[in-house]
Structure 1
Amino acid sequence: MTSILDQLRTMTTVVADTGELAAVRKHKPIDCTTNPSLVLKAFDAADSRAVLEAEIERGRASGQDPAAIAAALPIALGVELSKLIPGRISTEVEANLSFDAKASVARALEIVEAYAARGVGTDRILIKLAATWEGIRAAEVLQRQGIDCNLTLIFSLTQAIASADAGAFLISPFVGRITDWFKKAEGVDSYAAAKDPGVLSVRAIYDYYKSNGISTIVMGASFRNVEQIKALAGCDNLTISPALLEELGSEAGVLPLALSNEAAAPTLRQTIDAPKFRWDVAIDPMANELLANGIRGFDQDFRTMLGVLDR
């Protein structure tokens, strides 16, 4: 019998949530994603660390300051990852630009140019932006220029709707972080997969998109256990850590299809403008807190990289 992971691959595009080259070689995902957190973790893997250290040395030799070198590290790693996969690399616009649409567009164009200089075209990358109102507006501009975007830190249906209205290529709703928030708020240790708040959030977004003919890809992210992943089998994409890929690859059994276009629950189409977006996020304590925490976390990891380079 084929493994759960092999069965999942027939239903869903599997993405590796790692910057570790060895893990990507082993698990053979279609796409990969990078962010400051994953770059920091990649320093712990010998082959990935070698790529990052070589980039640091090149940057220092050419007189670049630490901020410029830190900004280049995800791109250097992304180039190497692109050699191992058939799909795309998501590369993040720095979190401190999350509330500046114009600066986010400018930085995204720099990322595109940096990849092009290393032989990687726009068809192989996704520009990753935090799903603030400004991040969504930046994605709208970039999509019109033919640059596909991944809107990340999605914690609410409102963010997902606004992202689709902007023509985003892909969104990343964060399953595990939502689950963690509700576990703490409700004082519970765990949820059955069918009642897991993170899983239910992705299902609601998936149903909205599919029942309204929206082409934006839904990529579930930030998983805490394999049961969450199984409960979203059939979702367009799922980005999964190496540890959970290992677990899925070693498990036998039958994986039922959980999501499909045909079974999507009909959902009324909405329009999200700036006041509604800001209001909906502001009055949702989970989405409000997790969006802010996510931006702070990515920014802190970028600053940690800067600290390493300042030594």
Structure 2
Amino acid sequence: MPDNHANRKITCLWVSPEEASNQYQSISAWGARENLEWIKVQTLSEAIDYWQGKIKLPASQVVELIVIEQTTSDEFEPSEADEFLAAVQACQVVVVYGPWCEGDGRTRNIWPPALRCPQVWADRWIRQILDALRNRDIALPWTASREEVMRWIFPKTSTSHSENSTGWKVLSPDAIWRESMLLLLTPACTEPQIVAQKETSKKIWLVDADAWICQQTSLPASISARETFKEYAAQLAGEPFAESTEVVALTAWHDDTTRQYLFHQGADRVVSKLAFPLNTSLLIRQS
């Protein structure tokens, strides 16, 4: 049995027919720092052979995590997935799916919900599994519901804002959107040089503008004292607005009328949610 040392070496399989996908390169890069050894395989049957010992590993080395990269909905047959899952029941498994597989959970259920991980969550999901394998966290059972998955992957919070140590906040009444933003932005905005810059720079508030826009348009015309966008942001942040704070509005309604309205109401920048995370990551880097 493997030891329970806090940073013991863990052997992982990455299943993908691609020679070297961007996702694999990204995760294997930080995996080296986490004392992970990745073995790249191309098929589920090859992963089964490693798990069952038909393909030998060095002495005392066992596979503890299998990551499957799925890029299209029909990449794996249901019978193939069933055979794989039946063979590796004692192993930790993650199916990292790309944007072309977004609808599979509703229309094509060949993987249990507890194993399906969107690409944007992959880093965090795998890190939490590693913590469980090293006895620093609890593992997610294969039978977990979608609600249990969300409670496991997202930190518990009752506030309407999430703050990063590098000086920026994500503000929204929508907890799931807020935490998804953090998952997407944190890897891009916590590099050492960016952290050093933010320690002495102004604050940035990344604000979900859509909820405020809906609130404004639904209020009766007789109500004149509507809160400005900056007042709305300060309310979500739970602190007074400071002149040094930059307010960035994120909206799905990225037409010119909406842009000008948000600027008029106090937004310093307006960023389309559809252009996220690239534009948002860049604006944090450049601030």
User: TM-score w.r.t. structure 2 length?
Assistant: 0.31
Between Structure 1 and Structure 2, the one with more helix by share is: 1
**Larger-gyration structure (1/2):** 2
Greater RCO (CA < 8 Å, at least 6 residues apart) = 1
Between Structure 1 and Structure 2, the one with more strand by share is: 2
